Amino acid sequence: MTIQEIRAFNRFYTNLIGALNYSKHLYTPYTLTESRLLYELAHAPRTDAAELRAELSLDAGYLSRMLTKFERDGLVERTPSEQDARRQRVTLTPQGRGTAALLDERSREAVGTLLDRVEPDQRPRLVEALRTARELLSAEESPAEGRRAPSRRGGPVLREPAPGDLGWIVQRHGAVYAAEYGWDTAFEGLVARIVADYAADHDERLERVWIAELDGRPVGSVMCVRDESPGTARLRLLLVEPEARGHGLGERLIEAVVDFARDAGYREVVLWTNDVLSAARKLYVRAGFTLVAEEPHRSYGADLVGQDWRLPLVDRSAAGSFS
């Protein structure tokens, strides 16, 4: 019965996501396997052809044909590995990154359409069921020792944003805060302006964005930007997806901002948040931030209490001028 149920679900799900006609389903010239390979090239920390083949369980000839097609389309470049000239290093071209970002965006839109069929109060149940299935089925048995081996993928990592990630930050802030706090699109508009300002003009020596990634997909973000006050950095847009919480990503993202700000020569880090974001506020306290001011306001369709927090990085009396 278990085998029949799994096979029935496989048939249901492959039909649901259009796996058998993926290129038509997402209006793309690439198959599901080709799209997955592009995704892996855009997100995997290693792009050795042999490692890609092992990660995706692909036949060597099939992988070579796909890479040849991508090379012909101007999406990838293949060069000898610096560690071993017998191995190939595969990297996406700017055109390839743009294509991968477009495919990712269309895939997200398709999943969003699926979620529209599910009532909002039932979505946590769906997410939990999917997580349970993934955890149970990804645990591999070691033939020699008869015990479960860990998944091939590593733990969560922080990285620089790739093409499409800034848009992801805007979309996920809007969706997550609407689902968890009922905030309207005015908040998403605010996030869009912050991201647009950063994209249009930022100094990489003094400003930075981090993307938290888990199992090859973005699950969090944070930003460090210059404040109007000289010598002050501002922490903005801290987010960890609900399903990725519990991995310590919030602490790591805050720590990344503080370490970067200190190395860049800032004298303090400040942030503005709202009192309803209790989990985030606990992280700020743990990182050493102190509450310096708060004021009621009505924003995003809700009555809120805004809070200003501050973390000194150096003794002002010992600090020099900040350029």
Neighbouring residues of 199: CB distance < 8 A, sequence distance ≥ 6: 166
Binned at pLDDT 50, 70 and 90, residue 85 comes out as low
Handedness of CA 119, 121, 123, 126 (dihedral sign): negative
Q: What is the mean pLDDT of residues 200-209?
A: 92
- Predicted confidence (pLDDT) per residue in 39-65, tens digit: 888 876 557 787 778 777 778 888 889
Report pTM.
0.54
Is beta strand 157-159 parallel, antiparallel or unpaired with respect to 208-214? Answer: antiparallel
Question: Shortest CA distance to 159 belongs to which of 204, 213, 105?
Answer: 213
Measured distance CA(171)–CA(237) in Å, rounded: 12
Q: Output the pLDDT for position 192.
A: 97
Measured distance CA(244)–CA(137) in Å, rounded: 18
Measured distance CA(26)–CA(260) in Å, rounded: 39
- Predicted confidence (pLDDT) per residue in 221-243, tens digit: 999 999 999 999 999 999 999 88
- Residues 272, 232 contacting (CB under 8 angstroms): no
Binned at pLDDT 50, 70 and 90, residue 256 comes out as very high
Q: Output the pLDDT for position 146.
A: 39
Q: Kindly tell me if the per-residue pLDDT of 143 is higher than 70.
A: no
Burial class (CB in 10 A: 0-12, 13-18, 19+), 15: exposed
Measured distance CA(46)–CA(90) in Å, rounded: 9
Binned at pLDDT 50, 70 and 90, residue 316 comes out as very low
Q: Kindly tell me if the per-residue pLDDT of 77 is higher than 80.
A: yes
Least confident residue range of 22-36, 92-106, 285-299 = 22-36
Binned at pLDDT 50, 70 and 90, residue 127 comes out as confident
Q: Output the pLDDT for position 83.
A: 63
Task: Give kind and range of the element (H or E) at residue 194.
Answer: helix 185-200
Question: Shortest CA distance to 101 belongs to which of 68, 77, 75?
Answer: 75
Phi, psi of 58 (to 5 degrees): -105, 150
Binned at pLDDT 50, 70 and 90, residue 23 comes out as low
